């Protein structure tokens, strides 16, 4: 059995940032286990720019953003095992993994950081009726074909879902010569950034059809077309609004799901809203010494936030390894009235820093107050011009405030009329 | 006098901006923005909109058949497709490093196309 | 190419017949119009081994179902195909239905079904805690089971090919001519094929094949059925196969575990007369859900990882059509094999074997293997087995499908097996790569890469399931 102070599962932006931060904090023996053949994670195929504005103050492409961390990892003494799949995490923090060089390996780690990322919701979860032709794929799969493998995944395309990946792929396919017929969005608003709607759709005259979904796929072998229809306020297709759009490809960009199979098998408690582990302010799960960060914890909109969150987890893991991490009574956090969830889900009363509460809202809010309460007592209240489900928000809770709260209390974040 | 409506992309608020242009396409007024960045964005979008361009170029002798590239800074929006044609003509030989210049001064814009990934 | 016997159709029936016949010293071709075996009704059905109480006494369906169900455990052992004797329940929700399950019980006894019981609500809830509280009683069939129909077919085809059968893919039969001397000439998409005997196991198209020799006696109604497959995390919803009382369109909507640990619910039944229409519909899927709710109220559509439809070939006579054609004593029809066709398939194969050797009187081969080596299943191994496996062949150390833990080694085995995989779905059916929660989102491009490499072709030549089901187009650069 191999022995490490810290094993990081996943070598994307989350895993690399956590590992680097832990190293900076003095953790000596660190290994990153990455299932792909290179570090970088999903950023390797996100060749568009827009990454790093917050963290580096520059507009980088995905590979460039990842590249900065890959360089630091390569220059450090952090060990990296690529093409390596983690199969199991045991109760006593033994990680079982395999690859085709070392074979099956077991690693005893004092602390573990989970940074496995997320996966895309597939067609099956949507139950779109129709044929099972080829040419129906998630936007991420299509992105890999075009940006990594160098093949066109389609020539005439309809995209379902207006999240950022869908919008980015609309532009990408258009620039490579494909015709993107429409981007359909079930909700009455887009889940993507305004900037992407302007620069990925409007620039190319690609229609964005809101409150619209794909109700049927056509074609026996390769996809030949889709039927789209408008939906009512209950998101049900409205009969009579069906329209047939010929296309050879349907790309799905209909949501991301944190990949927590390993966490579940290890008995780690998950949050039913985020589908990620439930964590404290240092992103430690209920499983002692196991931390989580990045999209495995909650689906992020910006990689810059992933980096920040992962540094918190890396710092927490370092404290844990050094025996400095405070545990004990916790304050719970709770989102209500439009605030869908809060990460972290709990804060140790004995913590040593102010804590940012990250959350997403359930619909578009304009000119509202974001209020933090403990019981009936209002602790903070901030005016917000606009909040949308597509963007992650945060609010800072000062250390003094945390210290002043009674143990076992609940901090509630809520939205009120301004 | 013409009016142009647009949504500002400078930040998530997405102000609805109205720009008034005179007959020689000079900006007369910008309204609806809530900060100076909106003003700047609106003026630029009306007079000479620019975009970052990202794509891939063919790679030979590498592990993968393509490597990602971008324009080092934004180029005029109307030149995107023409620039793609130039990008599609290029074949690189591995190895390539992040930041390597792939096309110097593309289409006379003064902007280079550079590699955005290492390729072995 | 000249053969003694041409089996038309690589479904479960055609593959098992080919395997049965491969012990004789005759030249056999298994002709399949698609790029793989198990591409028709076989790949999209309930995957059930029925007890045998449904069919009317005296019918071929009744006889071959009970016999086939009895043969299934040993056959699956020989072929190393997953089979589970999980038993089935028919739920009765009203006094009328209680009477109906008594009728089924009596019919089962007449058909020779062993170990049937009528059980109380309490006993039913004890066996299946998630069934509805509305249940009044149930018929328990202890001999019923579940099997993976395409794995069974793939395994049978493998054994057939190992024993010398020629498996010819993409070989749609377009015309059949009777030659002088009584032989047949088949005009196929893969060229001309000459044969002494024909076994028509062409599933939903078997009426057309029969018509090619002037036999218009087969009348089939394509009956489409839709299904939902739920994620393994819902696998504990049911351990028995849970039926409702049958109606004139079939056995109704069932809720059943699969041998892989998922839950399958379905089918709907619609006679839309289109043979190759495997579309799912909002109404069909809604129907399946609403019916499944009735049996197991805690079923949640959020657990669905995929939905699909299959077309079963319902014979208007309501019984299997198996025997020599009136038009030729060298042409055996094997048509109208709807439910319980999968259960009956081993017995159908034996029955057809009997019909053939009666006339052909072939010698048996000296070397014949009935057993199929168990495919490597990394996901089912313990740590020590995995360690040893990777030491022997490092390809088993590279995980390709992360949801189902499928290794590159298993994918290579699937491609290089006799009658091996040629497309992404073929790899999926043989290994489960792409069958998990992400439905191939991550691994399909890797599978395409491996297929292209192993078959010596370009990635853009690889299809999802043959024909024009290409996955990607030309290079971007």
Q: Are residues B40 and B74 in the same domain?
A: no
Q: With bands split at pLDDT 50, 70 and 90, how would you rate the model's confidence at A195?
A: confident
Q: What is the pLDDT of residues C355-392, one digit of tens each?
A: 999 999 999 998 898 889 999 999 999 999 999 999 99
Closest CA to C308 of C41, C53, C55: C41
Provide the percentage of residues in chain A whose pLDDT is more than 70: 100
**How does DSSP classify residue A41?**
G
Which range among A105-114, A132-141, A279-288, B1-10 shows the weakest confidence by mean pLDDT? B1-10
**Chain A neighbours, 3+ Cβ pairs < 8 A:** B, C
What is the per-residue pLDDT for A348?
Answer: 95
User: What's the N-to-C CA distance of chain B in angstroms?
Assistant: 56
The answer to whether the Cβ–Cβ distance between C476 and B56 falls below 8 Å is yes
Structural class in CATH, domain A1-120+255-325? alpha beta
Give residue A417's pLDDT band: very low, low, confident or very high (50, 70, 90): very high
Q: Is residue B120 part of a domain?
A: no
Interchain proximity C441–A138, CB inside 8 Å: yes
Quote the tokens at residue C125: 């809830």
Q: How far apart are CA A313 and CA A8, in angstroms?
A: 11
Report pLDDT for A354.
96
One domain, residues B27 and B62? no
State the pairing for strand pair C145-147/A290-292: unpaired
- Average pLDDT (C153-181) is 97
Asked if the Cβ–Cβ distance from B65 to A150 is below 8 Å, we say yes
Q: Which of B62, B63, B64, B65 to mutate to test the interface with C (most CBs of C within 10 A)?
A: B65
Among A189, A188, A184, A190, residue whose Cα is nearest residue A227: A184
- Whether B10 and B62 map to the same domain: the answer is no
pLDDT tens column, C106-164: 999 999 999 999 999 999 999 999 999 999 999 999 999 999 999 999 999 999 999 99
Tens of pLDDT, residue by residue over C118-128, are: 999 999 999 99
φ, ψ (nearest 5 deg) of residue C320 = -55, 145
Residues B41 and B64 in one domain: no
| pLDDT score for C273 | 80
Is the minimum CB–CB distance between C363 and chain B shorter than 8 Å? no
Residue C475 contacts B where some CB pair is shorter than 8 Å: yes
- Strand, helix or coil for residue B11: coil
The DSSP call for residue A296 is G
- Residue B66 and residue B103 in one domain: yes
| Chain B contact set for A54 (CB, 8 A) | none
pLDDT band at C440 (very low <50, low <70, confident <90, very high): confident
**Cβ of A74: how many Cβ atoms within 10 Å?**
10
Contact (Cβ atoms closer than 8 angstroms) between residue C277 and residue C311: yes
Count of CA atoms in the C-beta half-sphere (13 A) of A12? 26
pLDDT of C41 strictly over 80: yes
Phi, psi of A320 (to 5 degrees): -65, -45
Instruction: Supply the ipTM of this predicted assembly.
Output: 0.94
Residue ranges of B 78-117 with Cβ closer than 8 A to chain C: 88, 91
∠ Cα C341 C346 C348 (to 5°) = 65
b/e code C294-305 from CB counts within 10 Å (16+ = b) = bbbeebebebbb
At A337-352, the pLDDT tens digits run: 999 999 999 999 999 9
pLDDT value of residue B2: 87
The CATH number for B58's domain is: 3.10.530.10
Beta carbons of B113 and B70 less than 8 angstroms apart: yes
Give me the mean pLDDT over the C268-286 stretch: 90
pLDDT of residue C246: 87
Q: Express each pLDDT in C410-435 by its tens digit.
A: 999 999 999 999 999 999 999 999 98
Q: How far is B23 from chain A (nearest CA, A)?
A: 24
A366/A385 Cα distance (integer angstroms): 5
Q: Do B66 and A59 touch (CB under 8 A)?
A: no
Using DSSP bridges, classify how beta strands C399-401 and C220-230 pair: parallel, antiparallel or unpaired.
Answer: unpaired
The alpha carbon torsion through C150, C155, C157, C158 (nearest 10 deg) reads 140
Neighbours of chain C (3+ CB pairs under 8 A): A, B
**Of residues C50, C205, C240, C314, which has the active-site annotation?**
C50
Rounded Cα–Cα distance for residues A197 and A193 (Å): 7
Q: What is the pLDDT of residues C44-89, one digit of tens each?
A: 999 999 999 999 999 999 999 999 999 999 999 999 999 999 999 9
Give the separation between CA A333 and CA C322, rounded to whole angstroms.
Answer: 68
Query: A127 pLDDT exceeds 80?
Result: no
Chain B residue with CA closest to A388: the answer is B12
Q: At C266, list the tokens.
A: 């379905």
Q: Check CB contact of B117 with chain A, cutoff 8 Å.
A: yes
What is the reported pLDDT for A125? Answer: 64
- B69 lies within 8 A of chain C by CB: no
| Chain B nearest CA to C296, separation (Å) | 46
What is the C-alpha to C-alpha distance for residues C166 and C157, in angstroms, rounded to an integer?
A: 10
Q: Does B56 touch chain C (CB under 8 A)?
A: yes
Question: Which residues in chain C have their CB less than 8 angstroms from residue B66's CB?
Answer: 476-477
Please check whether residues B67 and B99 belong to one and the same domain.
Answer: yes
User: Per the domain annotation, does B109 fall within a domain?
Assistant: yes
- Pick the residue from chain C with its C-alpha nearest to A173: C476
CA A330, CA A351: separation in Å to the nearest integer? 9
Domain that holds residue B27: 2-47
**Between these two residues, C288 and C250, which has the higher pLDDT value?**
C288
Q: Using 50, 70 and 90 to split pLDDT, how confident is the model at C300?
A: confident
From B76's Cα to the closest Cα of chain C, the distance in A is 23
What pairing do the DSSP bridges indicate for beta strands A256-258 and A118-120?
antiparallel
Pairing of the two strands A30-33 and A2-9: parallel
Could you say which residues from 56 to 95 on chain B have a Cβ atom under 8 Å away from some Cβ of chain A?
56, 58, 64-66, 68, 70, 77, 80-81, 84
User: Which of the residues A175, A200, A368, A392 would you substitute to probe the B interface, choosing the one with the greatest number of B C-beta atoms within 10 Å?
Assistant: A175
Distance from CA of B14 to the nearest CA of A (A): 7
The answer to whether the predicted template modeling score (pTM) of the entire model surpasses 0.90 is: yes
Place A246 in a pLDDT band, splitting at 50, 70 and 90: very high
Strands A249-252 and A156-160: parallel
Give a three-class secondary structure readout of chain C. CEEEEEEECCCHHHHHHHHHHCCECCCEEEECCCCCCCCCHHHCCCCEECCCCCCCCCCHHHHHHHHHHHHHHHHHHHHCCCEECCCEEEEECCHHHHHHHHHHHHHHHHHCCCCEEEEEHHHHHHHCCCCCCCCCEEEEECCCEEECHHHHHHHHHHHHHHCCCEEECCCCEEEEEECCCCCEEEEECCEEEEEEEEEECCHHHHHHHHHCCCCCCCCEEEEEEEEEEECHHHHHHCCCEEEECCECCECCCEEEECCCCCEEEECCCECCCCCCCCCECHHHHHHHHHHHHHHCCCCCHHHEEEEEEEEEEEECCCCCEEEEECCEEEEEEEECCCCCHHHHHHHHHHHHHHHHHHHHCCCECCCCCCCCCCCCCHHHCCHHHHHHHHHHCHHHHCEEECCCCEEHHHHHHHHHCCCCCCCHHHHHHHHCCCCCCCCCCCCHHHHHHHHHHHHCCCHHHCECCCCCCECCCCECC
For residues A149 and A44, what is the distance between their CA atoms, to the nearest angstrom? 12
Confidence tier at C343 by pLDDT (50, 70, 90): very high
Peptide bond into C324 cis (omega under 30): no
Polymer length in residues for chain A: 418
Q: What is the largest CA-CA distance in chain B?
A: 57
| Residue of chain A nearest B34, judged by CA positions | A385
Chain A residue numbers touching B65 (CB-CB < 8 A): 149-150
User: CB neighbours (10 Å) of residue C323?
Assistant: 14
C-alpha to C-alpha distance for A280 and A349, rounded to whole angstroms: 10
- A45-87 pLDDT, tens digit per residue, is 999 999 998 899 998 999 999 999 999 999 999 999 999 999 9
| pLDDT surpassing 90 at residue A139 | yes
Mean pLDDT value across residues C3-11: 98
For the residues C319-346, what does the mean pLDDT come to? 97
Residues B43 and B60 in one domain: no
Q: How many domains is chain B built from?
A: 2
Q: List where CATH 3.50.50.60 sits in chain A.
A: 1-120+255-325, 122-254
Please state, in angstroms and rounded to a whole number, the distance separating the CA atoms of residues C344 and C68: 4
Using the beta-carbon criterion (under 8 Å), do A149 and C445 form an inter-chain contact? yes
Instruction: Please report, rounded to a whole number, the percentage of residues in chain C having pLDDT higher than 70.
Output: 100
Q: A328-418: what fold?
A: Immunoglobulin-like (2.60.40)
- Judge whether C240 counts as a catalytic residue: no
- Mark whether B40 and B61 lie in a shared domain: no
- Please indicate, yes or no, if residue B23 is contained in any of the structural domains: yes
Residue C355 has which token pair? 């019909």
Q: Is the dihedral of CA B88, B90, B94, B96 positive or negative?
A: negative
> For residues C413 and C421, is the Cβ–Cβ distance under 8 A?
no
- Shortest distance between the Cα of A287 and any Cα of chain B, in A, equals 37
How does A244-273 read in b/e, with b if 16+ C-beta sit within 10 Å?
A: ebebbbbbbbbbbbbbbbbbeebebebbeb
Verify whether the Cβ–Cβ distance C469 to A222 is below 8 Å: yes
> Under a CB-based contact definition with an 8 Å cutoff, are residues C395 and C412 in contact?
yes
Q: Which two tokens stand for residue A212?
A: 């619209």
pLDDT class for A11, splitting at 50, 70, 90? very high
Whether B80 and B34 map to the same domain: the answer is no
Q: What does A343-363 look like in DSSP terms, one character per residue? A: ESSEEETT-SS-EEEEEEESS
| Alpha carbons A246 and A250: distance in angstroms, whole number | 10
- Domain covering A122-254, topology: FAD/NAD(P)-binding domain (3.50.50)
Check if B36 contacts A (Cβ < 8 Å).
no
- What's the rounded Cα separation, in Å, for the pair A24 and A310? 13
**Does one domain contain both B38 and B88?**
no
Separation of alpha carbons B84 and B55, rounded Å: 8
Alpha-carbon gap, residue A241 to C300, rounded angstroms: 29
CA distance A66 to A86: 22
All CATH 2.60.40 domain ranges in chain A, comma separated:
328-418
- Distance in Å, alpha carbon of B98 to nearest chain C alpha carbon: 20
Closest by Cβ to A131, choosing from C279, C304, C473: C279
Query: Any idea what the Cα angle at residue A333 is, between residues A327 and A339, rounded to 5°?
Result: 155
pLDDT at C248 over 80: no
- Lookup: tokens for C368: 């014949």
Residues C318, A83: Cα–Cα separation, whole Å: 55
Residue of B nearest to C477 (CA): B58
Where do the domains of chain C lie, and which CATH numbers do they carry?
A: 2-42+150-220+318-360 (3.50.50.60), 84-145+221-312 (3.30.9.10), 378-461 (1.10.10.1100)
Residues B70 and B38 in one domain: no
C474 part of contact set with chain B, CB < 8 Å: no
């Amino acid at each position: 059995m191999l022995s490490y102070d810290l094993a990081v599962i996943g070598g994307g932006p989350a895993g690399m940032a956590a590992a680097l931060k832990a190293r900076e904090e003095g953790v000596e023996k660190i290994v990153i286990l990455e299932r792909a053949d290179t570090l970088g994670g999903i950023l390797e195929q996100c060749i568009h720019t827009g990454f790093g504005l917050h963290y580096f103050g520059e507009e980088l492409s995905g590979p460039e953003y990842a590249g900065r961390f890959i360089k630091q990892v390569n220059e450090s003494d952090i060990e990296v095992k690529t093409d390596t799949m983690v199969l199991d995490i045991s109760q006593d923090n033994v990680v079982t993994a395999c690859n085709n060089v070392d074979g099956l390996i077991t690693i005893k780690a004092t602390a573990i950081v989970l940074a496995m990322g997320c996966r895309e919701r597939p067609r099956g979860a949507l139950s779109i009726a129709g044929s099972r032709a080829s040419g129906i794929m998630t936007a991420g799969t299509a992105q890999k074909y075009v940006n990594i493998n160098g093949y066109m995944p389609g020539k005439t395309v309809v995209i379902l879902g207006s999240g950022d990946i869908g919008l980015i792929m609309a532009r990408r396919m258009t620039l490579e010569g494909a015709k993107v017929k429409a981007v359909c969005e079930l909700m009455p608003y887009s889940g993507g950034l305004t900037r992407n709607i302007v620069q990925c759709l409007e620039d190319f005259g690609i229609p964005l059809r809101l409150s619209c979904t794909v109700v049927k796929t056509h074609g026996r072998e390769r996809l030949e077309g889709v039927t789209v229809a408008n939906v009512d306020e209950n998101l049900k297709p409205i009969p009579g609004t069906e329209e047939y759009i010929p296309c050879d490809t349907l790309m799905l960009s209909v949501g991301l799901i944190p990949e927590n199979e390993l966490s579940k098998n290890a008995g780690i408690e998950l949050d039913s809203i985020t589908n990620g582990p439930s964590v404290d302010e240092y992103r430690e799960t209920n499983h002692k010494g196991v931390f989580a960060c990045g999209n495995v914890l909650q689906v992020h909109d910006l990689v810059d936030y992933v980096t920040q969150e992962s540094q918190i987890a890396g710092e927490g893991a370092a404290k844990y390894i050094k025996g400095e991490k405070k545990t004990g009574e916790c304050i719970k956090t709770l989102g209500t009235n439009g605030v869908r969830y809060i990460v972290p889900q709990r804060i140790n009363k004995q913590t040593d820093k102010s804590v940012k509460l990250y959350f997403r809202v359930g619909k578009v809010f304009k000119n509202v107050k974001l209020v933090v309460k403990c019981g009936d007592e209002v602790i903070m209240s901030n005016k917000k011009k606009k909040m949308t489900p597509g963007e992650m928000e945060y609010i800072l809770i000062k250390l003094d405030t945390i210290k002043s709260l009674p143990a076992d209390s609940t901090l509630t974040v809520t939205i009120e009329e301004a | 006098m013409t009016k142009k409506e647009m949504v500002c992309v400078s930040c998530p608020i997405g102000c609805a901006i109205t720009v008034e242009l005179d007959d020689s396409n000079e900006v007369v007024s910008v309204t609806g923005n809530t900060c100076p960045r909106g003003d700047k964005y609106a003026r630029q979008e009306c007079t000479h909109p620019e975009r970052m361009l990202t794509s891939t170029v063919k790679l030979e002798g590498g592990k993968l058949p393509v490597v990602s590239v971008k324009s080092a800074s934004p180029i005029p929006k109307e030149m995107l497709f023409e620039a793609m044609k130039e990008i599609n003509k290029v074949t690189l030989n591995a190895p390539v490093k992040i930041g390597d210049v792939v096309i110097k001064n593309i289409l006379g814009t003064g902007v280079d196309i550079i590699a955005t990934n290492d390729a072995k | 190419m000249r053969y003694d016997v041409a089996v038309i159709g690589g479904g479960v029936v055609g593959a098992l017949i080919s395997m049965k016949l491969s012990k004789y010293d005759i030249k056999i071709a298994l002709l399949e119009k698609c790029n793989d075996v198990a591409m028709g009704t076989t790949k999209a059905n309930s995957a059930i081994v029925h007890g045998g109480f449904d069919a009317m006494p005296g019918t071929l369906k009744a006889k071959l179902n009970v016999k086939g169900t009895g043969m299934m455990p040993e056959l699956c052992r020989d072929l190393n195909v997953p089979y589970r004797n999980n038993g089935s329940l028919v739920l009765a929700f009203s006094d009328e239905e209680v009477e109906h399950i008594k009728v089924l019980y009596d019919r089962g006894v007449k058909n020779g079904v062993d170990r049937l019981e009528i059980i109380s609500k309490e006993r039913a809830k004890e066996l299946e805690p998630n069934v509805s509280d509305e249940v009044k009683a149930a018929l328990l069939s202890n001999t019923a089971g579940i099997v993976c129909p395409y794995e069974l077919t793939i395994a049978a085809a493998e054994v057939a090919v190992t024993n010398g059968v020629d498996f010819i893919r993409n070989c749609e039969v377009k015309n059949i001519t009777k030659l002088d001397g009584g032989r047949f000439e088949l005009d196929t998409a893969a060229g001309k094929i000459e044969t002494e005997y024909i076994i028509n196991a062409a599933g939903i198209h078997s009426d057309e094949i029969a018509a090619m020799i002037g036999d218009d006696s087969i009348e089939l109604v394509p009956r489409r059925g839709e299904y939902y497959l739920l994620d393994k995390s819902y696998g504990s919803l049911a351990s028995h196969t849970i039926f409702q009382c049958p109606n004139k369109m079939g056995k109704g909507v069932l809720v059943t575990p699969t041998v892989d640990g998922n839950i399958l619910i379905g089918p709907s039944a619609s006679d839309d007369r289109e043979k190759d229409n495997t579309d799912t519909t909002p109404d069909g899927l809604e129907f399946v859900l609403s019916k499944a709710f009735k049996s197991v109220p805690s079923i949640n559509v959020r657990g669905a990882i995929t939905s699909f439809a299959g077309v079963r070939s319902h014979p208007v006579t309501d019984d299997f059509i198996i025997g020599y054609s009136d038009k030729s004593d060298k042409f055996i029809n094997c048509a109208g094999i709807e439910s319980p066709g999968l259960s009956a398939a081993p017995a159908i194969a034996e029955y057809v074997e009997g019909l053939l050797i009666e006339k052909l009187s072939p010698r048996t081969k000296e070397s014949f293997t009935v057993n199929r080596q168990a495919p490597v299943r990394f996901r089912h191994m313990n740590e020590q087995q995995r360690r040893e496996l990777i030491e022997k062949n490092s390809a088993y150390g590279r995980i390709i499908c992360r949801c189902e833990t499928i290794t590159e080694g298993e994918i290579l085995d699937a491609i290089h097996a006799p009658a091996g995989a040629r497309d992404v779905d073929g790899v999926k059916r043989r290994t489960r790569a792409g069958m998990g929660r992400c439905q191939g989102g991550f691994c399909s491009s890797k599978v395409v890469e491996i297929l292209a490499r192993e078959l010596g072709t370009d990635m853009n030549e690889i299809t999802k399931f043959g024909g024009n089901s290409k996955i990607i187009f030309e290079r971007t650069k």
